[in-house]
Amino acid sequence: MHANSLFCSAFGLLIHLSLGSASSEWSYTNNDTKPEKWAENFPHCDGIMQSPVNIVPSDTKLDLNLKPISIQLNGMNLEQQTYAVANNGHSVQVTFPDNLWRVSLRGEAEGDFCAKQLHFHWGSDSSNGSEHIIDGKRYSLEAHLVNYNCKIYRTYSEASTSPYGLAVLGFWGQHMSSVLATVTMFSATGGLENNLGNLKTQTSVNMTAFDLKDLLTLVDPASYYRYAGSLTTPPCTPNVIWTIFTKVVPVSGEQLNLLRSLKFPSTESSTSMENNFRPVQMVSSAKSPLPRTIYRSASRVLLANSFVIVICCLVRSFW
């Protein structure tokens, strides 16, 4: 059973997702509302198919059906657009105009998903910050491009609580002391870096729209891990198709310090916004109706090498 079949089976079990408590109180640092307490107000957080997870490459399964990820501008003039940049109390978030960007997970010409927002997770030092880890290693930062299924659902709100509703692209970032400014995590996000210093707690500013396709130039769009999981923040709904790119993107110390200069709201026990990542969840818990499999795609290099081998074999067969 390959990835698409598993998603259909898994999400089919989630037709009747409960919304849980209406409470919106959660935090990363307060004793009463920290991640270990989220399930008290958001039941899904103690449920099935939770994210993030520890990805062990040797335990993943190759799926040749996984296609390169692509992003397309949805017939609008990008120069006329602006993005909203906010300190939402938990992270810095860039929100895009509705239906501006389409994201393709399956190689289709027009993506099934619409990009909603981009946000980041980071640590108090460069040894931690990412939500997903690989072989137990945590990176300095993780960026999440959150998308909703606009082919099936009319709005993000509807998709966010519905089966097969969300897809998140995850980009790992690692601090490097010497790195070209043109190849860092923020080199593909226009003037975002310049706006971070202006973001007071729970405030928003507008910025000139940047080309979202540039994010894919930082990674190999054909090389990634794929699994069925959840939002990593409340309400933790288990309706997310996760794509984690294998290539790690450089981040400078100055960029990380800009993120750490942001502030949590006064309700948090910690002032500086840092360590805003959820602890790793089990890949397959006792509550899971089906064991989860983490799939890996075939990179362009692997596909190219395979093609060469096939051609060589065909040529030899004629000698």
Q: State the DSSP code for 69.
A: P
| C-alpha span between 317 and 49 (Å, rounded) | 48
For strand 166-175 and strand 141-149, is the pairing parallel, antiparallel, or unpaired? Answer: antiparallel
| C-alpha span between 155 and 147 (Å, rounded) | 11
90 catalytic? Reply is yes
- 8 A C-beta contact, residue 173 and residue 139: yes
Residue 318: Cβ-neighbour burial (10 angstroms; 0-12, 13-18, 19+): exposed
- Please name which of 85, 2, 15 lies closest in space to residue 258, comparing C-alpha atoms: 85
Residue 37: Cβ-neighbour burial (10 angstroms; 0-12, 13-18, 19+): middle
| C-alpha span between 188 and 173 (Å, rounded) | 13
Instruction: DSSP for 150-173, please give it.
Output: TTT-SSHHHHTTSTT-EEEEEEEE
Distance of CA 247 to the CA centre of its chain: 14
- Please name which of 131, 192, 143, 135 lies closest in space to residue 169, comparing C-alpha atoms: 143
| C-alpha span between 145 and 319 (Å, rounded) | 51
Q: Which of 2, 16, 90, 121 is catalytic?
A: 90
Which region holds residue 32: left if phi is over 0, alpha if psi is between -120 and 50, else beta?
alpha
Q: State the DSSP code for 136.
A: T
Which residues are catalytic, by number? 90
